[in-house]
Amino acid sequence: MNQLPVNKVFIAGFAFAMTHWKKILEISLVPLVISLPLLMMLPELLMVAKQVFLAIEQTAPDTPLPEIILPDNTGIYFILFLYGNISLSIDMYRLVILGRQSVGITPVFDLGKIARFFGLTLLVGMVTIVPLVLTNLLILQFIISFLMVPITLNFVNIAIGKPSRYRWGLSFPTHMNLFFLQVIVPMLVVLLLTSLAKLIGFGVGAEWVARVLVFYWSAITLALCYQLLTTSGKTP
């Protein structure tokens, strides 16, 4: 089993974004609009989170934490944001695998796909983040992320209406390259752009711009990796 061509996938991700930017903007419009309420209150939510962390650090172990007061309609706005993110992700994968004709300005309304996508997101998030929270060992998160990264190929399966599979039979080099493209590169790009933004003085906004760009690039490259692995006979 050959390795995923990291350099070619890396470049192809940017090339795809450049050649399909109008379609990407089209499918991003509705998810962005329904995500705006939560994004607009994000500074307030970050302030609440900061207050919670300070309270946890300063409060004695047996003392109850002060009541957390969230802005009005936070739950509704969060659900809309989550739906917009899932809908956009599904459309991005479909755009890469099935082509421009498979997506449009109308968001995804297939409840089955949305539920499966949310379930897989929850699974991957819990398996990779919970051990870090419990142990505070970053290396453990990297190890678990490495083990879980083939499972993320199922995001593409869900988007294009295929059954999920949890044994991909990837060789170690292929597995490593997929991990590099989907975990290491996005992390390094966000870290680099955030550091540069702080040096220049752009502030927190630049970090979120970097995360948005990485979101699109990661979605495109995951679909490209899926396409390579499933069309070239590299998986059983």
pLDDT tens, N- to C-terminus, the chain (236 residues)? 446 888 899 899 999 999 999 999 999 999 999 999 998 888 788 787 777 777 666 655 666 666 777 788 889 999 999 999 999 999 999 999 999 999 999 999 999 999 999 999 999 999 988 877 778 788 888 999 999 999 999 999 999 999 999 888 899 999 999 999 999 999 998 888 888 777 776 666 677 788 888 999 999 999 999 999 988 654 44
Helices vs strands, H then E, count in the chain: 10, 0
Q: State the burial class of residue 75 (Cβ atoms within 10 Å of its Cβ: 0-12, 13-18, 19+).
A: exposed
Residue 178 to residues 41, 51, 185, 186, 228, Cα–Cα distance (Å): 35, 38, 10, 12, 11
> pLDDT at position 236, please?
40
> pLDDT at position 1, please?
43
> pLDDT at position 205, please?
66
Residue 192 to residues 52, 141, 215, 219, Cα–Cα distance (Å): 28, 20, 15, 20
Of 115, 172, 150, nearest to 230 by C-alpha is 150
> pLDDT at position 60, please?
55
